[in-house]
Structure 1
């Protein structure tokens, strides 16, 4: 399904902002695409170019984590005078993702972005895409170095290192006892490296902490059900932590329902789902980790575009979209604004700075 025209008010505002920056011609070209061409005005920084179509293959297409990623894709393609398609699987089915890639290759996509959640399954379609002259970039999840993947670059969080920092934070909160580590889909490369990194850091600490690894599933409702069931059967648990967005929200809701923070149970995880942020402010959850989902879409489009416009001379570069711990001390700005950058609003806007940068 194409989303090129899903936010007309946002596009109008964006064109106004671009005009004030002296780029109105490029914005107008994005709005007036016809006949497969985008005609950049003389004042624009890029020459006239085709209406390049970027296909993004995702493993959980309806998961709310990727709402800001899709806004990032929409904004970048509108800015650049390109179009896009969001496709893949809603349930982390790798065969469905591979089929989506094959369809993109057959349809002669201009570039493909794919979450490489399996170490081998995407190697063949990536090679066939490259042989057909279609550049392929990994976003959000990447194949390990020894996988044989020939993707051009990875745009996303350093997943293993993020897991290490998660593990170090857990060790700072829990001295001993059993903790649960929840993971939506064990083995998938968007989240398994985080679990591996966290486990490594906890073991390295030397603390007497036992880890129960619990698979929760690919949908938010399923994850919540699994987490509640685990807690009710393991009420001695000292902490509950997750390596994916849906499981993190499920932990927060479980801890809130059973008042676990007041009982000395700690919890945390990843990503900025609105309910997770609300329950951090309430004190039900210790922290979450921001990996900047918007940038995983926006930066990938920028690399695709620069690769195509430069004939492949410029573009492919690994980008770490970062890591930031969000706690009760710094969660307020996330809750006091509703922006497309965190996936809470479709409206394009400039968000005023609050407080010192980095605070």
Structure 2
């Protein structure tokens, strides 16, 4: 992306008296994490965090609701484990690396980090390890975490998920899939479309869009569908992009179906109504929870999830019209 990245965001979560009211957020960044139900949880808890400080540092862009789910899972684990949790994000890899270095300077006791752009994070991660700070990866970087010496990885193998989605498209009789990539160079999202291409028997074509501009995303998909009416399946890599694709299909007068990776409560409604065929859920809440809990287990009991040689997989989990009812209540709570 050529536009300057949005300012990073930083949040601190503290121990609550009860797990149900686990989160105390103190804004210390340049902008607020707006538009989430958890904004109402900003009361004081008066807790010390048990003396253990952990930083969760992601590549999230401003306003991406996916990361709300990751953060909520991390906050619940932090509350359970009596950890003082700081959350920070920057979509620019250099900015994300700086956040890791800031956490090192803050003398945190552990770091959980996403490796969407692994090469850019290598130096900062090495500095954390040299400082004796345990580091785990989550969400992205399944092919990089071991090489960079991290303790573990919590997330989805996006290549496996992409291949599973390709098989599903074959089963549904699709012939020409348009895979919409909203962040060029992000190893996780690129792997999804590459996985689809490996197993899907029809034609797979990538469309790169600017995921920070939803109007532009809709326009780009609409234009492509008008240009090529043979596209009968639009595959998106995030819930909000799937909902935009539904609008694009309508605007283009296309007969294409829409399938997606990832889930949120609005997408649940779209799957239930049939506007979205299915979603491949990587369970982001679980990623955040396991990453923080994994660091706590390492510090308190020397446990290494996956033995340091295998990733802890949180997906893919297929969500269809057949099983959507059992997931809807969790999505409404903001945890799926």
Normalising by structure 2, we get a TM-score of 0.80
Q: Assess if the C-alpha contact under 8 Å between 2:54 and 2:111 holds in 1.
A: yes
* 2:294 counterpart of 1:295: no
- Residue 226 of structure 1 deviates from its aligned partner by 2.7
Q: What 5-or-longer segments of structure 1 have no aligned partner?
A: 15-29, 39-49, 343-359
Give the secondary-structure state (helix, strand or coil) at the position aligned to 1:306: helix
Q: Assess if the C-alpha contact under 8 Å between 1:256 and 1:279 holds in 2.
A: no
Partner of 1:272: 263
- Residue 256 of structure 1 deviates from its aligned partner by 5.2
d(CA) in 2 for partners of 1:217 and 1:147?
31
Report the number of matched residues.
300
Normalising by structure 1, we get a TM-score of 0.76
Alignment of 1:210-359 (within 5 A): 210-219=203-212, 221=214, 222-255=216-249, 260=254, 263=255, 265-310=256-301, 313-317=302-306, 318-336=311-329, 338-342=332-336
Q: Assess if the C-alpha contact under 8 Å between 1:303 and 1:315 holds in 2.
A: yes
Partner of 1:189: 187
Give the secondary-structure state (helix, strand or coil) at the position aligned to 1:122: helix
Partner of 1:17: none
- Residue 236 of structure 1 deviates from its aligned partner by 3.2
d(CA) in 1 for partners of 2:22 and 2:102?
34
d(CA) in 1 for partners of 2:240 and 2:208?
12
Q: Which structure has the larger Rg?
A: 1
d(CA) in 2 for partners of 1:299 and 1:76?
8
Partner of 2:86: 85
d(CA) in 1 for partners of 2:274 and 2:76?
34
Instruction: Name the CA shift for 1:171/1:73 in 2 (closer, same or farther; >3 Å).
Output: same
* 2:80 counterpart of 1:74: no
Instruction: Name the CA shift for 1:268/1:279 in 2 (closer, same or farther; >3 Å).
Output: same
d(CA) in 2 for partners of 1:72 and 1:9?
15
d(CA) in 2 for partners of 1:110 and 1:100?
15
Alignment of 1:173-184 (within 5 A): 173-176=172-175, 178-184=176-182
Structure 1 residue ranges (4+ consecutive) displaced by more than 4 angstroms after TM superposition: 5-10, 256-260
Give the secondary-structure state (helix, strand or coil) at the position aligned to 1:301: helix
Q: Assess if the C-alpha contact under 8 Å between 1:251 and 1:268 holds in 2.
A: no
